[in-house]
Structure 1
Amino acid sequence: MSADTERSRLLPVTLTAEFRLVTFAALAALTVSYGRVLYHVTDVVGGARLMLAVLLGSATLAVVVGRVLRVRTAVFLTLLLLGGGVTVYFLSVPASQRALISPPRLLSDTVALLTGLSVLRLTQANVWALSIAPAPVFLSWYLAVRRRYVGSVVVGGAALGFLVLTGDAGTYTTLAGVVGAAGVVGFGTLDRYGGTGAQVDTLVILLVAMVVVAATLSIAPTTRTGPVLPDRTSPTGVASFVDSGDNVRVVGTIRLSPQVQFTVQSPTESYWTTATYDRYTGSGRVRSGDTDPYVGRLRGPPGGGRALGQTVTAETELGAMPAAWRPVRVEGLPANRIRVTSQGSVRPTTTLDPGESYTVTSRVVDAPPEELRSAGTDYPEGVVERYTQLPASTPDRVGARAANVTAAADAETPYEKALAIEAHLESSKRYSLTVERPEGDVADAFLFEMDAGYCTYFATTMVTMLRAEGVPARFVTGYTPGERVDGEFVVRGLDSHAWVQVYVPDEGWVRFDPTPASPRESAERARLSEARQSGEPGVDTENSGSSTPTPTPTGGDGTAVTDTAQAPTGNVSFGTGDSGAVGGTVPQRTTIDDGYELPSTETLAFWGIVLVGVGAAVRRTGAGGRVVRAVWLRRRGPRRDPDADAVRAFERLVYLLERQERPRRPGETPRAFVRSVTDDGRAARVLATYERARYGDGVDRVAADDAADAVGELVRERTLPTRPFVG
């Protein structure tokens, strides 16, 4: 018989079973923490139900074979699962991309994942998640069944740690996983070696302390001033989208930055694009795919388009390369400082310093509305799959609303559907920079729960509605034209904006802007005027100080706003996703009809955990029992049978004397105990009444009440204020 088996035999059976049950519950929490991230990937890209089956199936298989499979065999099987998964993923990658894979590329991609590259940016991210998931789940649960709890945590913790490094595991997810891992080790040790209730309480207190400390500490990384900033009262730190981040997340209230970001010398105005995003996560956007080196020429739109040259000069540090869509040539910067995204945007490898400039030649779509309206649905291969993607969890009512809007407008072609949805959002929602970021799907909340929002909400919702209608659309960030001064455009942070591109066969990506124009214009003017009056630095160039932004026409006449059209300025704000910079982890709240704000799920869970910890601490210290006894001591209690009341009065007296004099010795009679610790006549009367009630003919109501009153007097005298009662 092994030592573990012998120890288990000596422990009470129910206690060992309870420890093991809690251990597996903690392992489930660890598994759910990284499994939730993998499930989210498949929810966004596809295969969510299959992921659930994979996670549950792997754990079930481990439990079934855990007692019969040797450890070496299980490890070998895990390696087979992992190797097979990598092979499946490799074969799922398109052949054109597979040909580019080499050992150095694999190494660089691995390093990128370990330094913040989101899994959602991978090609075939859902296949990757489904291929990787079985191995850690199976091995961690197998080792737990074999009672090798530390090894189980190492495997599960490695899976979670990897997803933390990629930036896909958020604060609460990571915290849940860490607490689960600690619970597996702690309760697993009690399972293997035995433990007491006091040890359980201590462990629970430590776990709760981990949660409280981790949830109350926040780190806000310093970032330079961007074009859009969080509102001073906003709890969420915001990283400006001007840096062309790969992940963007819709946030709540923001304020506009009036500082000049760059100037553009161009014969005509345009929207200056910085980034495009294809994947929608329900709370933000992700740019999938890798970037490629710039080789001197980029592909233009299918219809050719009109050539437009622009010279962009940075007035502050820029992490992006604004350009009219679609850029086909870049000059003025070394080729090794330029990268091209898989969506066609250009971005710098290093930040552009103030004064640096580059020249871009773009091919701008300028097809007339008649041609766009008559375009069919003969999309290039891959466009529909990539740009009609929606999370599986997207509420059905979003698609239903989109169908109702297009049907009411008799919209049949994709272009007409885009016009109808654009007009619907412009007319049905107000523009406001002061909003409460909703929980859940942003587009769904904006359509059905919010009255107002800014451009990020409008663009996100329009893209989602179009995709629900099967129209390829994508989310775009950048800047509106800015202020025209002496032949150049002065572009400020308050010109930052988000809009929509819709793919039209034979023409390319056509721009739509569903955000109401006039309110954006008013917000821009007010913010610039405020900045000038208060003397904020960097809000003007040498020639722009005495001028005011010129109102620009929009597509309010029912025609598409292409890159040759003027449009009013706007704003947009983005965070860095679940794993991004957080300036204080303050959960958002839900508002009900009467105006009362309900705490978020995270807040309720946090305080629930705190209460569990308080309960464990009370149990561990015995404070709960002492409080109950202290209250019992001070309460006379309801009148019942006189004999019962007399007994109760004596029990209160004994409890008081034991706590303040000495405990009653084994075998010591009530009379001997009371007479040995006090000579107070009231205590003698209580004792005499007790003896008659317990051993004699009983007592009447007067005697019972006298005993209760006497004990009450003794309690008050002995506990307050001269001799505080220590329960």
Structure 2
Amino acid sequence: MSSVPDGRLRHVDGARALAFVGLTALTGAYASVLWRVTDVVGGSAEFVAVVAASLALATLVGRYVGVRVALGVTSGLLFLGLLAYLVTLPQSQVALLTPERVLNDTLALLTGLSVLRLVGAGVWAIAVVPGPVFLSWYLAVRRRYVSAVVAGSLALALVVLTGDADALTTVVGVLGATATVAASTFERHGSGLAQADVLTALLAAMIVVSATFSVVPGAAGAPLLPDRGAPTVEGSIVDAEDDVDIVGSIRLSPDVRFTVESARSEYWQTAAYDRYTGDGWIRTGDVRPYEGPLQGPPGPDRELEQTVTAEAPISILPAAWKPVEVEGAVASEAVVTPQGGVRPETTLLPGENYTVTSRVPNATTDRLRAAGTDYPDRVTASYLQLPESTTDRVRERAETVAGEEETPYDKAVAIESYLEENKEYSLSVPRPTGDVADAFLFEMDAGYCTYYATTMVVMLRSQGVPARFVTGYTPGEDVGNGTHVVRGLDSHAWVEVYFPDTGWVRFDPTPSGPRQTAEDARIAEAQQSGVENIEYGEPNGTTPMTVDDAETANGTGEETPATPGEITTANPTNGTQAPADVPSAGVPTAGPSDRGESPFSTMPTRRTLVVALIGLVGVVAGARRTTVAERAIGLLSVQFQRRRDPESDVRRAYDRLSVLLEREYRARRPGETPRAYVGSLPPSESRSEAEIRRVVELYERARYGDGVTESDADEAVSTVDRLVRASTPIVRWLR
């Protein structure tokens, strides 16, 4: 390299440094997303070790191994990773892996299925990352920067499509990829303004593509979608099918969703979630078709039959825990979740109903205290999970509150009572940053049910007690004859704790009195405003039930708080109406007309306009680089000719003819005469050789001979006009 001038040497080194800086940003973008997966489920140290080993291997073999061998190594890494993932899956999940299921799951990942929903998400992340890391860095070592970007960008695109990459991560990856490609351009063609259009077009294309990926259904970033504002209770929990994000302030909906005919009041469960991400909950595993009666709880239970009738469109199957049998038309469309719940694959319309039989756990306090800790492996594997980033102070607070209690039951009661007594209830709270449980314990004075339930589950798991986050509805209004009217504001989140030989038992740490007050106030407000669909019985001609009627039917209308040591699975008092703060499932959100929005609210958002502007800048830069713009301007310039004097008109006509011929064939070479140039053109059906030679002849007379007449100028201009129209179909059509 000594023969290379110093300036050139420094330039090459600079480009190489830029390439590796950009590739580091690109690799860090997708690797950080996969690292977060391992942080949530465990294995982040192993993940870092695998990434480091992949980088070291790529650096080591990059100088000595050919591309074909490297591709073979990459394929081997991916195959071994997939094999390791399959080996770690529970047998129940392996049995579901048919070719059709694998294809459907792959398509789901590419259209918004979060990696965290996979049962073996941590192993999957560790299995996937070595391939792109090794291949991209191997190619970079061999100075194949563009190919390195392609390999890394595929991994980034995957985590964007799954919805696990946020907007900032995506932008960092895009900028890193752009820098690496820029380094390739600089190394080959030099740096400076001459390459600015290339980089501008490339960066614009990457930003637009990443923004487009983010609006694939289910994707998390969704930068092109308008902000819908604060969610209703229905939209923040129960509507979430496979994941729940803890949000900030929410609104209550007084609309009637369904009725339940049941001999006893219960909490009507719709979903249970096993994986805590730090900012929400995810339900892992694949569903299976409902094909008949399900297994009940392992301990004593009592049978409860419920008939649920939809009063508004719903896409849930509310039922007391644990549902074992579903009857009705919806049964053929129902699926069973790995957590033991049942949900429909269709929407129930108003008036449609189903009957569900539940086996409700029925254990005494003494039985739960004596349950012990001999948990099944499947329970400990799923329901003791906490992110590795869970703070020490959360674990220490749980130890302070429940560490001295001797049984899991007493630990659960202690934590439940602590949260009820030390936190206020409020629907208006800011969404905390970082871990929700940590924020609720140490930074927030108030919250609603999702905060209480999340924090209790995290505290229990840190004490080695299996627990899960559950959503559904409180009993609703008892209007007599065993009929319970359930509204959107009856939606709720609570906790279930697992006890050997008993199963899942409900605990509710959210204070009931303030919830009831919030519900009553919302119903009264809706009645005063004349809101429809809040009175039950009106469509059938019966007298609508008012708030006063409900209080009379329910006694005080308040839910009795759970007393420490009292089993919360015991029947709630008839008519208990715990005001809820969680969403109702499957309820369509109101459109712009329902919310009274201006028609201008559907105009593109600011972010949409910014992305569109970036795309336009990229198109302009690309057009400049590819000379498309120059050619388009040149073609436009020959469409019309302003007349002056005969000699000028003939010369201008010839210039227009030259533009046409250059576009269709080639430009005239230096030193080539006009006559020789047109003589070299191949035959064409779109032009007459005689006409072209005549224009050239008139041009030679105008420039070198004794001049031309007015009639000569008319002939030259009209001839070129015909050739222009023949070469520009849209102009010919307009004329």
TM alignment of 1:504-515, pairs within 5 A: 504-515=499-510
State the alpha-carbon separation in 2 of the partners of residues 201 and 143 from structure 1. 25
State the alpha-carbon separation in 2 of the partners of residues 231 and 432 from structure 1. 23
Partner of 2:562: 556
CA contact (8 A) 1:254 1:573 kept: no
Give the superposition deviation at 1:182.
Answer: 2.2
TM alignment of 1:467-478, pairs within 5 A: 467-478=461-472
State the alpha-carbon separation in 2 of the partners of residues 114 and 238 from structure 1. 27
Q: Does 1:196 find its partner at 2:206?
A: no
Partner of 2:460: 466
Partner of 1:241: 237
CA contact (8 A) 1:244 1:347 kept: no
Q: What secondary structure is seen at the aligned counterpart in 2 of 1:477? A: strand
Partner of 1:684: none
TM alignment of 1:110-121, pairs within 5 A: 110-121=106-117
State the alpha-carbon separation in 1 of the partners of residues 53 and 393 from structure 2. 32
Partner of 2:145: 149
TM alignment of 1:67-86, pairs within 5 A: 67-86=63-82
Q: Does 1:163 find its partner at 2:159?
A: yes
Q: Does 1:498 find its partner at 2:493?
A: yes
TM alignment of 1:681-720, pairs within 5 A: none
TM-score (norm 2): 0.72
Q: Deviation digits for residues 571-592 of structure 1, max 9, x if unmatched?
A: 126999xxxxxx9xxxxxxxxx
Q: What secondary structure is seen at the aligned counterpart in 1 of 2:560? A: coil
Residue of 579, 582, 606 corresponding to 1:572: 582
Q: What secondary structure is seen at the aligned counterpart in 2 of 1:312? A: strand
Q: Does 1:452 find its partner at 2:449?
A: no
Give the superposition deviation at 1:174.
Answer: 2.2
Q: What secondary structure is seen at the aligned counterpart in 2 of 1:548? A: helix
Counterpart residue type for residue 528 of structure 1:
I
CA contact (8 A) 1:244 1:274 kept: no
Residue of 532, 536, 540 corresponding to 2:531: 536
Q: Deviation digits for residues 459-494 of structure 1, max 9, x if unmatched?
A: 000000000000000000011111121331111111
State the alpha-carbon separation in 2 of the partners of residues 266 and 371 from structure 1. 27
TM alignment of 1:294-443, pairs within 5 A: 294-407=290-403, 410-443=404-437
State the alpha-carbon separation in 2 of the partners of residues 16 and 238 from structure 1. 59
CA contact (8 A) 2:300 2:362 kept: no
Q: Taking structure 1 as reference, are residues 56 and 92 closer, same or farther at Cα in structure 2, changes over 3 Å only?
A: same
Q: Deviation digits for residues 220-262 of structure 1, max 9, x if unmatched?
A: 999xxxxxxx999649999443335111110111111111111
Q: Taking structure 1 as reference, are residues 575 and 322 closer, same or farther at Cα in structure 2, changes over 3 Å only?
A: closer
Partner of 2:703: none
Give the superposition deviation at 1:45.
Answer: 1.1
Partner of 2:713: none
Q: Taking structure 1 as reference, are residues 211 and 436 closer, same or farther at Cα in structure 2, changes over 3 Å only?
A: farther
TM-score (norm 1): 0.73
Between the two proteins, the alignment pairs up a number of residues equal to: 568
Residue of 478, 486, 501 corresponding to 2:480: 486
Give the superposition deviation at 1:176.
Answer: 2.2
Counterpart residue type for residue 316 of structure 1:
A
Q: Taking structure 1 as reference, are residues 236 and 155 closer, same or farther at Cα in structure 2, changes over 3 Å only?
A: farther
State the alpha-carbon separation in 2 of the partners of residues 311 and 236 from structure 1. 27
CA contact (8 A) 1:458 1:514 kept: yes
Residue of 8, 31, 34 corresponding to 1:35: 31
Partner of 1:138: 134
Q: Deviation digits for residues 168-197 of structure 1, max 9, x if unmatched?
A: 222222232222222222233213332127
Q: What secondary structure is seen at the aligned counterpart in 2 of 1:325? A: coil
Q: What secondary structure is seen at the aligned counterpart in 2 of 1:186? A: helix
Counterpart residue type for residue 545 of structure 1:
M
CA contact (8 A) 2:448 2:510 kept: yes
CA contact (8 A) 1:244 1:275 kept: no
Q: Taking structure 1 as reference, are residues 136 and 231 closer, same or farther at Cα in structure 2, changes over 3 Å only?
A: closer
State the alpha-carbon separation in 1 of the partners of residues 178 and 233 from structure 2. 30
Q: What secondary structure is seen at the aligned counterpart in 1 of 2:377? A: coil
Q: Taking structure 1 as reference, are residues 456 and 143 closer, same or farther at Cα in structure 2, changes over 3 Å only?
A: same
Ranges in structure 2 where 5+ consecutive residues have no aligned partner: 219-225, 538-542, 587-591, 593-609, 615-735
Q: Does 1:517 find its partner at 2:512?
A: yes
Q: Deviation digits for residues 420-467 of structure 1, max 9, x if unmatched?
A: 000000111101111111111110011011111110000000000000
State the alpha-carbon separation in 2 of the partners of residues 402 and 81 from structure 1. 42
State the alpha-carbon separation in 1 of the partners of residues 89 and 279 from structure 2. 27
Partner of 2:52: 56
Counterpart residue type for residue 114 of structure 2:
S
Give the superposition deviation at 1:9.
Answer: 6.3
Q: Deviation digits for residues 206-228 of structure 1, max 9, x if unmatched?
A: 85997799899997999xxxxxx
Counterpart residue type for residue 508 of structure 2:
D
Give the superposition deviation at 1:413.
Answer: 0.2
State the alpha-carbon separation in 1 of the partners of residues 332 and 146 from structure 2. 47
Q: Does 1:545 find its partner at 2:542?
A: no
Counterpart residue type for residue 253 of structure 2:
S
Give the superposition deviation at 1:141.
Answer: 1.2
CA contact (8 A) 1:251 1:574 kept: no
CA contact (8 A) 1:153 1:181 kept: yes
Q: What secondary structure is seen at the aligned counterpart in 2 of 1:362? A: strand
State the alpha-carbon separation in 2 of the partners of residues 352 and 235 from structure 1. 23
Ranges in structure 1 where 5+ consecutive residues have no aligned partner: 223-229, 577-582, 584-605, 611-727
CA contact (8 A) 2:314 2:585 kept: no
Q: Taking structure 1 as reference, are residues 287 and 368 closer, same or farther at Cα in structure 2, changes over 3 Å only?
A: same
